[in-house]
Amino acid sequence: MKYLTNITVLTAFFLVMFQGHSQTDSIQKWRWQSSPQENFALFIGKDTITKTAQPLMGNKKWWTSFGYRQLDSLIDLANKNNIDMKIAQTKIEQARAQKRIAMSTLFPTIRLEPSFMRQELSGNRPNPFGGQLRRVNLNSFEMPLTLNYKLDVFGENIDQVKAGNLLTSVSEENKKDITLQVITEVAQNYFLLLQLDAEKKLLKDTEETRIHNLEITMIRNGAGLVSQIDVLRAKSELSSVQVQQKNNEKVRSEIELILALLIGVDATNFTIAPTTIQFMPPEILFLNKDLVRMERPDLKAAKLRLESSEKLARSQKKQLLPSFYVSGSYGYLSGDSSNLIEDDSKNWVAGITASLPIFEGGKKRSEIKLRKSELEENQEKYNQQLLLSYQQVENSYAQLKWIHEQLLAQQEFVSAAIDAANLTSERYTKGLVNYIDVVDAERQVLEAEQLSVQLFGQELIGRVTLIKALGITP
């Protein structure tokens, strides 16, 4: 195995990637950074990775920059079929309906209310003139057009409408957040599959080597060159690798089930074809940490919810002020249906009413306190979410930096372990060392190669985690 051609260049590029830039473009908030043109490689397991996927500029469909068509297809299915995203869409429709309900208060209600009533008056009803009255039957036919309207003198209804508009925007941002959560989870699980497939290839190659070693050891044992203990050790090492292969298959099946749920398909017959690591991960430059509050959908939703609470609290205070209502009706009223639609049957009434709360047992004051408390709660939730977002971004950067540095250091470890294993195997065939030395050397190679695969998988997942922390939504 060869070494990295230019470790210095790669390390310098890595440091630039994580330091960011102090000069930010006022228009371009996020951008992908292409890998440098210098020729370098990463040794992942037994493979050498040199290709870099074409980076995608901007924040649309960031997953395509990783270069795996299979991942693109899975995310397309998730966008179409994921149940959580469909539920989020229904929440948007509900919020829009609530907004339309709030907007209806800005308009008068007009109703056509035809009615018929037959009444029989008692013969013993009060009579201020004395004497016995007769029982009387009365018919009443009425066809009025009624109008009722609450005058929004102090803007109470306007505030509620604005709050409804903001809550609709909250639902839309919540869907974006759920979409981001689903897409990143699909990507992270896919990269776990990628890691497991690379480990499976390593284990398969190691199994073949262990079988070959067992055959050689049995031949040498038959010739009296080694003891039966060496044969048993060779069998034990072979069994250890086979057990790891079974566990690899088990974990892979579990991840396939998770992905099936995420993309909304039946898990019964769902499988994902094995794939291999092909590309180096794309580089991301985060230009300004403060832009997180403008990009992360959960922060935007929290901010909009806070603004909605402000509107509702203001509207609640205005309920202590007088309310004014306009009402009226126009139509026909008659005691006989035959002459209902005539000029003499026309009937109308109109008026304006003022209402000022005097005493309601402290209800209004309590409602104001409730809205104020909700406003303070949403303010603290927003502050908490903002601090959490900064913590997630910084933690993602720190973790990714640590993983990348360890992956670079692992290159030397893998190369040295392979050289040591080859030398030990050569010395064993010459009878210069015991088989236990061969076992230790080969075990170290497997561990080094597995760790390089795991670190590369963690770096891919770490970049997705960083994208999630930054709130880069499609």
Burial of 290 (0-12, 13-18, 19+ CB in 10 A): exposed
- Whether residue 40 is predicted with pLDDT greater than 60 in this model: the reply is no
- 């395509």: which residue's tokens? 64
| Cβ-contact 407, 42 below 8 angstroms | yes
Closest Cα partner for 458 from 396, 413, 415?
A: 396
Q: What is the pLDDT of residues 421-444, one digit of tens each?
A: 888 888 877 777 777 787 788 888
Q: Between 53 and 253, whose confidence is greater?
A: 253
Please tell me the least confidently modeled range out of 66-70, 217-221, 260-264, 372-376. 217-221
- The whole-chain average pLDDT of the chain stands at 84
- 């901007």: which residue's tokens? 58
Q: Look up the pTM and report it.
A: 0.81
Rounded to an integer, what distance in angstroms lies between the CA atom of residue 431 and that of residue 426? Answer: 9
The enclosing H or E element of 391 equals: helix 363-429
Q: What is the pLDDT of residues 52-63, one digit of tens each?
A: 655 555 557 889
Q: Between 157 and 281, whose confidence is greater?
A: 157
As a whole number, mean pLDDT of residues 274-301 equals: 79
Residue 329 three-state SS: strand
Q: Counting every residue, how long is the chain?
A: 474
CB proximity list for 131: less than 8 A, separation 6 or greater = none
- Whether residue 15 is predicted with pLDDT greater than 70 in this model: the reply is no
Q: What is the pLDDT of residues 383-408, one digit of tens each?
A: 999 999 989 988 988 898 898 888 88
Specify the pLDDT at position 97: 94
Specify the pLDDT at position 21: 37
For residue 168, how far is the Cα from the chain centroid?
18
How is residue 353 annotated by DSSP?
Answer: E
Residue 47 pairs in a beta bridge with 44
